[in-house]
Amino acid sequence: MQRESRREDRGVAPAAETCALGDGRTLAYAVGGDESGTPVVAHHGTPGSRLFASLLDDAAAEAGVRLLVPDRPGYGRSSPPPDDWGWREWRRDLAALLDAESVERCGVVGFSGGGPFALAAGGSDRVSRVGLVSSVVPPAEVALVRLSRVPFAVRALFRLSGAFASVAGPDTVVGQYTDRSVPEAVSRAVADDFHEALRQGATAVARENRSFGSEWAGIDRTPVPVRAWHGTRDGNAPLSAVEALAGEREATLTTAETDHLGTLLDYRCEVLQWVGDA
């Protein structure tokens, strides 16, 4: 696998690494946290990008975690996937990333729409633990999933919302995920992640939301420990679906009186400590 590294032109954004996949595609990712720590791969939301690493970097360093955050195919700088690409195929892409970083085994975290991909990764013998934060659970019946059934609707929506957020500023993006006031650095990190996610348009967002409306085809029962953290006021991903998943898969569930992004901000250090402690 080939690996390249270059500094982003976005000021304080994490460095962008790339590795070549077996079918000629490129996977981009960010590295953060403790360089000598336990490897953990964090899966960004839908939409999201490797710049999600900025929200976890300090917590990862504190937890003694070496953080890897890839752009999933079609987001940021990662190549779009083939038409038949899905959760199971993500395991192969993840294996290429681990090979490029000389990682034999790791923990994985999935935030929001990254949750199903983290669970899919958990079926690999190279994954030790799975942590879910504010996770979507298929088959999901939320607004974006319903909208994704209409051709081009999600792409049109995100073209408009991306343009509006560019003018209105970071708080407009943050308001989609939390009603709390957040520090300026957090607001900027969330907005940068959102805009980088749409670098290639919103095709990846539409594709993933369609998949969230389907059954868990291709995702086996995860053979490793699973733990979930979820807010009781989460309006983006229903708590009831995570409760059902926890019961089905004998996962530990921690709930708190907070919302979608609030859960991540409040528990990111605890999540990374648990996932990395395998």
pLDDT 10s digits, 251-271:
999 999 999 999 999 999 999
pLDDT value for 134: 98
**pLDDT at residue number 220:** 64
CA distance 253 to 255: 6
Beta-bridge mates of residue 3? 19
Q: What is the pLDDT of residues 3-16, one digit of tens each?
A: 444 333 334 567 78
Q: What is the pLDDT of residue 240?
A: 95
Distance CA 26, CA 36 (A): 25
Q: What is the pLDDT of residue 120?
A: 92
Which residues, 6 or more positions from 89, have their beta carbon under 8 angstroms from its beta carbon? 81
Per-residue pLDDT, 11: 40
pLDDT, one tens digit per residue, over 28-82 is: 999 999 999 999 999 999 999 999 999 999 999 999 999 999 999 999 999 999 9
pLDDT at 62: 97
Q: So what's the pLDDT on residue 180? A: 95
At 115 the pLDDT is 95
What is the per-residue pLDDT for 10?
34
- Burial class for 49, CB neighbours closer than 10 Å (0-12, 13-18, 19+): buried
> pLDDT for 182-241, tens place per residue?
999 999 999 999 999 999 999 999 999 988 988 765 566 678 999 999 999 999 999 999
| Helix, strand, coil % in the chain, rounded to nearest 5 | 40, 20, 40
* pLDDT given for residue 219 in this prediction: 64
Instruction: Give pTM, 2 decimals.
Output: 0.92
Mean pLDDT of 149-173: 77
**Structure tokens, 224:** 């490793």
Q: In whole angstroms, what is the distance from residue 95 CA to residue 56 CA?
A: 22
pLDDT tens-place string over residues 92-127: 999 999 999 999 999 999 999 999 999 999 999 999
Confidence at 144, pLDDT banded by 50, 70, 90:
confident
Is residue 162 over pLDDT 80? no
Q: Is the pLDDT of residue 276 over 70?
A: yes
Terminal C-alpha separation, the chain:
27
Q: Which CATH architecture has domain 3-138+219-276?
A: 3-Layer(aba) Sandwich (3.40)
